[in-house]
C-alpha cells in the first residue's frame, strides 16, 4: 500500500521522572512541541522510546495517553516489534485496538532469523491486523538485515505501508527503492541519510533529531518536495552537527540530554543505558547553541 504518510515523523523519546516512572506531563509537552512545529506523525515506543526496558503496563499507559493527548492532530504510529513473532502479533493487535493509525515493526532481534524467517514474521503480523505496517530495518541493532529481494516479497502483503531504512548502505537502499517502487513507500530511518533517501523517492523520514529540531526537519523535507535541492542542502548542512550530536553516544542517551537542555525534560534513560557523559554534554551544549537554540 502507498501513501500512508508523506512528510516527517519523530521517533519520540519517553521521558522518565527521577523516580523512574513515565513523566506524562513532560511527554505531553513534547507532543505539543512536535505538532506545533509541523511534525506529521509521532512514532511512539520505537527504539528511541526505550520500550525494551518498559513493562507491558507502562507501554499501554503510554499508548492510551498518546491517543488522548494527540486527539487526531497528527498520525500515531506505535512500535510493536519483538524478537518473538507471537509477542509482536499480540502487541500489534493491542496497538490497533487502542486506535493506532499504524505500526512500526522492527525485525526480530538477537535470534538472527533467515530471510524467509523475516518474511514469515511480517506475514504473521500483517494477517493479524488491518492497519498499515512500516517495517523497520536497523541491522546494527538487530543483527538481521532485510535484503531488497525480501522486502519486495514483504511489500506484496496486504497492509505493508513501507520500510523505515536504517541499514546505512545507500547502495542497498537504492535497490530496495527500485524493487518496492509503486508497491509501498520508503522512509529514511537515518538522519544522516534523510536528504539522499528523499532524493531517490523516499516518501518521508522518521527522525531522532526532530525530537529537538522538528521545524528545520520539516523545512528540509518541504524543500525537497518543492524541487529546491539548494535550499534542502543548506538546511541539511545546518542540521548535520545536531544530527551527529544525537549519536555521540547510543540513541536515545543524547536526545534525552538535548531535550533537557532545551527545556523539554527528557530525563535519564533507563539502565543499562546511562546519562550522557560530561564531556559529551558540553559538546551537546555547544552544538545546540551554534544551531540557535536557547540552552
Residue 119 bears catalytic tag: no
Using omega within 30 degrees of 0 as the cis cutoff, is the peptide bond preceding 147 cis?
no
CA atoms of 120 and 133, how far apart (whole Å): 14
Q: Please give the sequence-ordered ranges of beta strands (E in DSSP) within 71-198, or none if there are none.
A: 75-79, 102-106, 133-137, 160-165, 185-188
For residue 278, give every residue at least 6 positions away whose Cβ sits within 8 Å of its Cβ, in sequence order, or none. none
For residue 202, give every residue at least 6 positions away whose Cβ sits within 8 Å of its Cβ, in sequence order, or none. 177, 185, 186, 187, 188
Residue 136 bears catalytic tag: yes
CA atoms of 67 and 75, how far apart (whole Å): 10
Taking the CB of residue 86, how many other CB atoms lie within 10 A of it?
Answer: 10
Q: Find the catalytic residue in 69, 164, 218, 256.
A: 164
Going by the DSSP 8-state scheme, the letter that residue 46 receives in this structure is: S
Angle at 169 between CA 165 and CA 193, to 5 degrees: 60
Kindly give the interhelix angle for 115-128 and 85-97, rounded to the nearest 10 degrees: 30
Residue at grid coordinates 525480501: 150
Q: Find the catalytic residue in 119, 136, 187, 221.
A: 136
Residue 212's closest CA among 252, 271, 250, 249?
A: 252
CA atoms of 267 and 281, how far apart (whole Å): 14
Angle at 159 between CA 154 and CA 162, to 5 degrees: 60
**Would you call 24 exposed, middle or buried from its count of C-beta atoms within 10 A (0-12, 13-18, 19+)?**
middle
Which residues does the annotation mark as catalytic?
136, 164
Amino acid at each position: 500500500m502507498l501513501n500512508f504518510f508523506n512528510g516527517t515523523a519523530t521517533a519520540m523519546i519517553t521521558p522518565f521522572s527521577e523516580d523512574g516512572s513515565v513523566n506524562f506531563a513532560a511527554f505531553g509537552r513534547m507532543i505539543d512541541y512536535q505538532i506545533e512545529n509541523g511534525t506529521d506523525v509521532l512514532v511512539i515506543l520505537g527504539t528511541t522510546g526505550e520500550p525494551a526496558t518498559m513493562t507491558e503496563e507502562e507501554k499501554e499507559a503510554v499508548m492510551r495517553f498518546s491517543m488522548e493527548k494527540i486527539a487526531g492532530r497528527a498520525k500515531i504510529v506505535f512500535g510493536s516489534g519483538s524478537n518473538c513473532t507471537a509477542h509482536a502479533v499480540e502487541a500489534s493487535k493491542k496497538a490497533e485496538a487502542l486506535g493506532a493509525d499504524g505500526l512500526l515493526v522492527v525485525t526480530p532481534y538477537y535470534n538472527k532469523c533467515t530471510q524467509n524467517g523475516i518474511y514469515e514474521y511480517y506475514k504473521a503480523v500483517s494477517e493479524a491486523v488491518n492497519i498499515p505496517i512500516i517495517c523497520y530495518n536497523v541491522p546494527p541493532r538487530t543483527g538481521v538485515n532485510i535484503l531488497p529481494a525480501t522486502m519486495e516479497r514483504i511489500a506484496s502483503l496486504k497492509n505493508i505501508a513501507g520500510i523505515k531504512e536504517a541499514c546505512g548502505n545507500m547502495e542497498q537502499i537504492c535497490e530496495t527503492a527500485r524493487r518496492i517502487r509503486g508497491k509501498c513507500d520508503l522512509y529514511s530511518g537515518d538522519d544522516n541519510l534523510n536528504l539522499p533517501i528523499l532524493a531517490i523517492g523516499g516518501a518521508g523520514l522518521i527522525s531522532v533529531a526532530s525530537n529537538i529540531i522538528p521545524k528545520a526537519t520539516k523545512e528540509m523535507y518541504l524543500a525537497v518536495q518543492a524541487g529546491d535541492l539548494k535550499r534542502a542542502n543548506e538546511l541539511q548542512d545546518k542540521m548535520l552537527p545536531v544530527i551527529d550530536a544525537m549519536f555521540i553516544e547510543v540513541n536515545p542517551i543524547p536526545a534525552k540530554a538535548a531535550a533537557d537542555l532545551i527545556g523539554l525534560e527528557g530525563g535519564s534513560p533507563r539502565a543499562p543505558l546511562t546519562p550522557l557523559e560530561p564531556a559529551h554534554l558540553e559538546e551537546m551544549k555547544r552544538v545546540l547553541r551554534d544551531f540557535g537554540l536557547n540552552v
